[in-house]
Amino acid sequence: MGGKVCAIIGFGPGLGTAYAEVFRDAGYSLGLLSRSGADLGGEEETNPSVRAFKCDAGNPDSLKDALASVQSELGPIDVVIYNADLAQFGSIEDVSEVHFEQSWRVGALGLFATAKLLGPQMSERGSGVIIISGATAALRGNVWTTAFAPSKSAQRTLANSLAKQLGPKGIHVAYLVIDGVIDTEDTRTNFAPNEPDEFFIKPAQIAETALMLARQDKSAWTFELDIRPFGEKW
């Protein structure tokens, strides 16, 4: 392929697609990992630098297999974007043990498996970027985040631990604290059907910030930043 390779774990409509488009337009080959195996609007058929793979981010073996496939088809992964997330909400009475575990698997264990596989490879090459789609729930719990907050906070401190371990080896780990509702067909229809445009975060803008992070010089890396729409109450 020649170009750099970006793997997106948790590809899908909305933010996953925005990451894909922004990194493709920046010249990256794309490995798209999702439960459905969806690709970027069928682009896989015409564009050899876009490849889609089925995997379950909450299952380390499945995830590592898919990442290995990305590498065998496109080459070493330069940038991995960890975008998998169950985003299930509920009180302690609503959330079952299975949900609690599954949230953690997709949010934290999958990132661990990713780093376990790619960390040593990136360390050997002396470069690499790991970007995580995070949330404010990573910083504090709330009434409805019985499962979500523990999953996201585990993800964030794991990312923090990875940043400190892998940074000196040339690997940039960055955590996006996305604070607001992303503009997708789903959120527009189900979650916030009556909100104006300015209520939403445009996914392409999150992806642009991620691209900026991927391009930061190693003398001045950002580990963590927040992103929210200008009118958000916070």
Which residue in the set 2, 36, 45, 92 belongs to the binding site for a second copy (CB under 8 A)? 92
Residues 27, 20: Cα–Cα separation, whole Å: 11
Can you spell out the DSSP letters for 3-41?
S-EEEEET--TTHHHHHHHHHHHTT-EEEEEESS---ST
Which residue from 201, 97, 224 is spatially nearest to 155, judged by alpha carbons? 224
137 interacts with a second copy by CB under 8 A: yes
Which residue in the set 159, 190, 194, 195 belongs to the binding site for a second copy (CB under 8 A)? 159
154 interacts with a second copy by CB under 8 A: yes
Which residue in the set 29, 133, 153, 184 belongs to the binding site for a second copy (CB under 8 A)? 153
Give strand pairing partners of 178: 135, 227
3-state secondary structure of 69: helix
Positions in 184-203 near a second copy (CB under 8 A): 198, 200-202
Neighbour tally for 207: CB within 10 Å: 24
Positions in 3-42 near a second copy (CB under 8 A): none
| Minimum distance, C-beta of residue 44 to a second copy, in the bound complex (Å) | 28
> By C-beta, is 37 or 221 nearer to a second copy?
221
> By C-beta, is 31 or 110 nearer to a second copy?
110
Give strand pairing partners of 222: none
> By C-beta, is 47 or 89 nearer to a second copy?
89
Residues 64, 192: Cα–Cα separation, whole Å: 35
Positions in 93-132 near a second copy (CB under 8 A): 93, 95, 97, 100-101, 104, 108-109, 112-113, 115-116, 119-120
CA angle 27, 83, 143 (to 5 degrees): 150
Q: Which stretch binds a second copy (CB under 8 A): 22-30, 42-50, 168-176, 185-193?
A: 168-176
Are the C-beta atoms of residues 130 and 171 closer than 8 Å to each other? yes
| Minimum distance, C-beta of residue 101 to a second copy, in the bound complex (Å) | 7
| Minimum distance, C-beta of residue 58 to a second copy, in the bound complex (Å) | 12
Positions in 44-63 near a second copy (CB under 8 A): 60
* Residue 68 DSSP symbol: H
134 interacts with a second copy by CB under 8 A: no
| Minimum distance, C-beta of residue 65 to a second copy, in the bound complex (Å) | 14
Which residue from 1, 104, 13 is spatially nearest to 59, judged by alpha carbons? 104
141 interacts with a second copy by CB under 8 A: yes
Q: For residue 177, give both structure tokens.
A: 């604290």
